[in-house]
Amino acid sequence: MDASGEMAARLLSGDRAALARVISWAENADARYPAVLSAIYPRVGHAWRIGITGPPGAGKSTLTNELVATLRKRDETVGILAIDPSSPFSGGALLGDRIRMEERTADTGVFIRSMASRKSHGGLARAASDACDVMDAFGFSSILMETVGVGQSEYDVVAAADTVLVVLCPGAGDGIQAMKAGILEVADVLVVNKSDLPDADRLMMDLEDAVRMRTVRQEEGGWVVPVVACSARDETGIDDVIAAVDAHRSWQEAADLAGTRRAKRVAQVRRVVGERLEEELWGRLGNTDRAEALLGNSVTPYDVAEDILTSVLGSARDAAQADEV
């Protein structure tokens, strides 16, 4: 058996070291990864993927920890992917309350993995989605992805989840700022964490208003985003968050889960093609040199771009343009 086949077999037999290794291969776009994915792909698709995002300090990690505890109580196994904006070498420690998470790592029903978001150049969503596939094939029934909702690439990460929780908390400009940043657009469930703080009720009402305004424009039978209060610190309302996830799952299963997931797969194909094209275009095909050679006083970047596109796409492009006429 080759390296990929052997690794796939080990992973499917429940070897956690193999699981960690394959996620690294995915993360680094290692040439051995695609063959592993082919081998394990029939086992992908059983896990429910939950994306957890929100502004820094909203309590995402504390909540993740509580969600894991609750899911474990109903005998689910949980894979956790933490997208860490800062440190590339943080292990499981970045997950909020370090000690409690380390307790979890002694539990074989839980696997924690972090991924640095700085490292990747647009490949983050692709790598995160791959990591979820790998954990899914390994057999976890739930997968939680935590990422700080600050930029497009982080949105892309959670958008690949089945259910997206946007976690907000009172104070610090509240959710208004988050709404401006478009964070509400990705939410399947809005969580107001730190409900132990005095302004939580007001934030709840603001969010409920925002949801109502959106719902009037929505077609009938659409998902109405619930606003759920909890305090991850005091361990209250966690069951309500889980219940909202369950409800969203049931709704999707009754609607068109297969279609929704297929659309996400198409997005993944586009990401892979984009990433590979970028590499090929500027690497092997040597277009960087070509661009430099072509640029001159009277040649604009647009001219050079046109020239490169024509040389790369050539006849395919001519045919498409002919079709349009």
Ligand X SMILES: Nc1nc2c(ncn2[C@@H]2O[C@H](COP(=O)(O)OP(=O)(O)OP(=O)(O)O)[C@@H](O)[C@H]2O)c(=O)[nH]1
Residue 44 CA to residue 132 CA, distance in Å, equals 9
Residue environment code for 30-60, b if the CB has 16+ CB neighbours within 10 A, otherwise e? eebbebbbebbeebeeebbbbbbbbbeebbb
The interface partner of residue 271, options being Mg ion, ligand X, none and the CB cut-off 5 to 8 Å by kind, is: none
Name the amino acid, one letter, at 7.
M
Q: Work out whether 142 is an interface residue with Mg ion (CB under 5 A).
A: no
Q: Would you say 53 or 163 has its CB closer to ligand X?
A: 53
Tell the smallest beta-carbon distance from residue 237 to ligand X (Å): 9
Q: Which is nearer to ligand X, 32 or 55 (CB)?
A: 55
Q: Cβ neighbours of residue 162 under 8 Å, at least 6 residues apart?
A: 48, 49, 50, 248, 249, 252, 257, 260, 261
From ligand X, Mg ion, none, which one binds at residue 57 (CB under 5 to 8 Å depending on kind)? ligand X
- Kindly report the three-state secondary structure assignment for every residue of 157-206: HHHCCCEEEEEECCCCCHHHHHHHCCHHHHCCEEEECCCCCCCHHHHHHH
Task: Pick what 312 binds: Mg ion, ligand X, none; C-beta below 5 to 8 Å, kind-dependent.
Answer: none
Nearest to 95 by CA among 144, 146, 166: 146
Q: Is 231 in the site for ligand X (CB under 6 A)?
A: yes
User: Which of these ranges, 172-180, 228-236, 252-260, 290-298, lies near ligand X under the rule CB under 6 A?
Assistant: 228-236
Q: Which residues pair with 166 in a beta bridge?
A: 53, 190
The residue within the footprint of ligand X, chosen from 26, 83, 210, 232 (CB under 6 A), is 232
Query: Which of Mg ion, ligand X, none interacts with 56 (beta carbon under 5 to 8 A by kind)?
Result: ligand X
Could you tell which of Mg ion, ligand X, none binds residue 193, using a CB distance below 5 to 8 A set by kind?
ligand X
Considering Cα of 12, then 18, then 19, then 21, what sign does the dihedral take?
negative
Residue of the chain from 10, 100, 233, 261 that contacts ligand X (CB under 6 A): 233
Q: Is residue 61 at the binding interface for Mg ion, with CB under 5 A as the rule?
A: yes
Considering only residues 53, 61, 120, 163, which one is a binding residue for ligand X as defined by CB under 6 A? 61
Residues that bind ligand X (CB under 6 A): 56-62, 96, 148, 193-194, 196-197, 231-233
